[in-house]
Amino acid sequence: MRGHHLISLRDLTDEQLAELVRRSVDFATGRRDPTGALRGRVVGVLFTKTSTRTRTAFTAGALRLGAQVVTYGPGDLQLNTGETMADTARVLGGMLDAVVARTAGPEAELRTLSRHLGTVINAMSAQEHPTQALADLSTMRARFGDLTGLRVLYVGEGNNTASALALALPRLGLDLELRTPPGYGLPPALVDEARALGARSGGRIRQRHDMAALPAGADVVYTTRWQTTGTTKPDPQWRRVFAPFAVDAALMARFPDAVFLHDLPAHRGEEVAAEILDGPASLAFEQARHKLHSAMAALHWTLGE
């Protein structure tokens, strides 16, 4: 029985994206009962890179929805002995209803899986972390209610989380301001694409590579750790370039009513001060709990209907 794929947020219509966020909040608030929704389904969870939140969220989410789970670590499949991704996918497609995969490799690997499996969910690729954006939007909707017009200031590397935010937030009417270090921003073509996607709803996106002339207001200040999972930086002095982009008390004081988000794991004293991450404005650990609800929404939408 073939379902949907969730490989890139580009693959979703605006209505589908909004529906996934609604389902996530419904699971978080108890308005939607997960019991038995995926009874009889078998979900493979393939993680070749480290994960705490996403792997746990999809495993626990599948179980809460009534599915059975088969887990694979980095050394468990014959991919390590030279079997192709296509052959692996053909085999898994005959046994599993869905695969949730984190490879931190190119999105093309997941597209290969999707040709032989009814449902593939991207749990993070090199280019994009779509389910993180769903958790972020779920967190914001649960906190603020209406998402339209929310002002989000993202500070830090233009990584796969930032890519997902760019492809999601403007489409739902949010205003996204990206401040990324020189040489570490989102590709201009991606920003242009996100701007075009947001034009339908009035959402806006801008990117600058300094911390001057910050917006007059922000409802959300967001950062991620500076060393993205599965990546390294060729410049040994990169920390000096990133230092002005840390989230500290002085930055948050400019936006006294803003909440703070972080996709975790966090390095206190680097991208964020401990007093901010652990302070009253921080929703970072509530945001982490929303990973479960967004994972359930993704599984329910891809497999349940």
Q: Verify that 26 and 101 share a domain, yes or no.
A: yes
Q: Verify that 169 and 273 share a domain, yes or no.
A: yes
Q: Verify that 142 and 88 share a domain, yes or no.
A: no
Q: How far is CA 217 from the centre of its chain?
A: 24
**pLDDT tens per residue across span 73-105:** 989 999 989 999 999 999 999 999 999 999 877
Number of domains in the chain: 2
Confidence of residue 229 (pLDDT cuts 50, 70, 90): low
**pLDDT tens per residue across span 106-158:** 899 999 999 999 999 999 999 999 999 999 999 999 999 999 999 999 999 99
| Residue 1 included in any domain | no
| Residue 4 included in any domain | no
CB of 266 closer than 8 Å to CB of 225 = yes
Q: Verify that 118 and 135 share a domain, yes or no.
A: no
Flag whether pLDDT at 304 surpasses 80. Answer: no
Indicate if the alpha-carbon torsion angle 78, 84, 89, 90 is positive or negative: negative
Q: Verify that 143 and 244 share a domain, yes or no.
A: yes
Q: Verify that 148 and 273 share a domain, yes or no.
A: yes
What's the pLDDT at 84? 92
Nearby residues of 279 by Cβ (< 8 Å), 6 or more positions away: 260
Angle 278-18-129 from CA coordinates, rounded to 5°: 55
Flag whether pLDDT at 2 surpasses 70. Answer: no
**pLDDT tens per residue across span 273-289:** 999 999 999 999 999 99
| Residue 231 included in any domain | yes
| Residue 297 included in any domain | yes
Confidence of residue 233 (pLDDT cuts 50, 70, 90): confident
For the chain, give the mean pLDDT. 95
Round to whole Å and give the CA distance between 288 and 294. 10
Q: Verify that 134 and 279 share a domain, yes or no.
A: yes
Q: What is the pTM of this model?
A: 0.95
Q: Which domain holds residue 24?
A: 9-128+292-304
Upstream peptide bond of 34 is cis (omega within 30 degrees of 0): no
